[in-house]
């Protein structure tokens, strides 16, 4: 019966750094009089948005677990992506008689309060992750509505300018003229490929037929 520690650190982790996770796991096993951790499985630079089975070391850990083994992690968000992911993995551990310990909750593979709290907190963690994603999307949408550049490929017809430390998209007059010509050709029934061939030759640019499709009808962002 082996004891395994699992740690995950993303590229932006601070409070939950690798050193802190390892020290706390080792300290807790010692305090409880358990055997020394046989091996740590550490996923570095891995987002919490991935299920543990899709993480390199997480997948390796799941593959070697046997009946009677124990897994110890700092908190549920170090191991699991969502409520569904957490509950599903918990049930799998129970079936295989594998114990799971989270330092802030204790053993969660039993039938007591800890297991119930685990399910509730998993749902809360998923809700918070979804809210963060929603806030990011809202911020990007607001920035875009204000004409700010939010990253990625600069659309044809625009240049990126900087003002007071913020980046904005500004129309490129020459490229806007080309877009006007593209729209006229499309209205005349030309295919995307024929339009691309024509404007690339006439204006010395290099737009693919898919690039033509993206700019059709564009006036403003």
Work out the angle at residue 61's Cα, subtended by the Cα atoms of residues 59 and 66, and round it to the nearest 5 degrees: 125
Confidence (pLDDT) at 220 = 40
Query: In the predicted model, is pLDDT for residue 221 greater than 50?
Result: no
Confidence (pLDDT) at 4 = 95
Query: Dihedral of CA 120/121/124/129: which sign?
Result: negative
Summarised one tens digit per residue, pLDDT across range 158-186 is: 788 777 777 777 788 888 888 888 988 98
Stretch 19-46: mean pLDDT, rounded?
A: 86
Confidence (pLDDT) at 88 = 81
Q: For the chain, which residues make up each domain, given as ranges? A: 3-134, 158-215
Confidence (pLDDT) at 139 = 59
Q: Which of 136, 143, 164 is nearest to 221 (CA)?
A: 143
Q: Which residue has the higher pLDDT, 55 or 158?
A: 55
Active site residues: 10
Domain 3-134 part of CATH 3.40.50.1390: yes
Residue 173 token pair: 């007059």
86 Cβ partners below 8 Å, 6+ apart? 76, 79, 80, 118, 119, 122, 125
> What integer best gives the mean pLDDT of the chain?
81
- Cβ of 12: how many Cβ atoms within 10 Å? 7
Confidence (pLDDT) at 133 = 67
Summarised one tens digit per residue, pLDDT across range 179-220 is: 888 988 988 899 999 999 999 998 888 888 888 888 886 644
As separate numbers, helices (DSSP H) first and strands (DSSP E) second, the chain gives 8, 7
Summarised one tens digit per residue, pLDDT across range 128-169 is: 666 666 766 665 665 566 556 556 677 787 788 777 777 777
Query: In the predicted model, is pLDDT for residue 90 greater than 80?
Result: yes
């Amino acid at each position: 019966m082996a004891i395994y520690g699992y740690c995950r650190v993303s590229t932006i982790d601070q409070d939950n750094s690798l050193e802190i996770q390892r020290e706390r796991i080792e300290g807790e096993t010692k305090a409880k009089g358990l055997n020394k951790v046989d091996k740590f499985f550490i996923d570095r630079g891995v987002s919490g948005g991935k299920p543990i089975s899709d993480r390199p070391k997480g997948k390796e850990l799941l593959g070697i677990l046997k009946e009677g083994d124990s897994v110890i992690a700092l908190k549920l968000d170090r191991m699991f992506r969502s409520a569904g992911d957490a509950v599903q993995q918990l049930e799998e551990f129970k079936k295989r008689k594998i114990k799971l310990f989270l330092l802030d909750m204790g053993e969660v593979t039993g039938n007591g309060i800890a297991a119930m709290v685990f399910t509730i907190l998993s749902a809360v963690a998923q809700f918070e992750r979804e809210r963060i994603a929603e806030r990011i999307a809202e911020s990007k949408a607001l920035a875009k509505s204000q004409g700010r550049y939010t990253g990625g490929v600069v659309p044809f017809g625009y240049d990126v300018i900087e003002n007071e430390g913020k980046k904005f998209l500004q129309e490129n007059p020459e490229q806007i003229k080309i877009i006007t010509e593209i729209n006229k050709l499309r209205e005349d029934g030309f295919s995307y490929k024929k339009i691309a061939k024509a404007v690339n030759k006439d204006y010395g640019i290099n737009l693919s037929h898919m690039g033509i499709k993206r700019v059709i009808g564009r006036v403003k962002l």
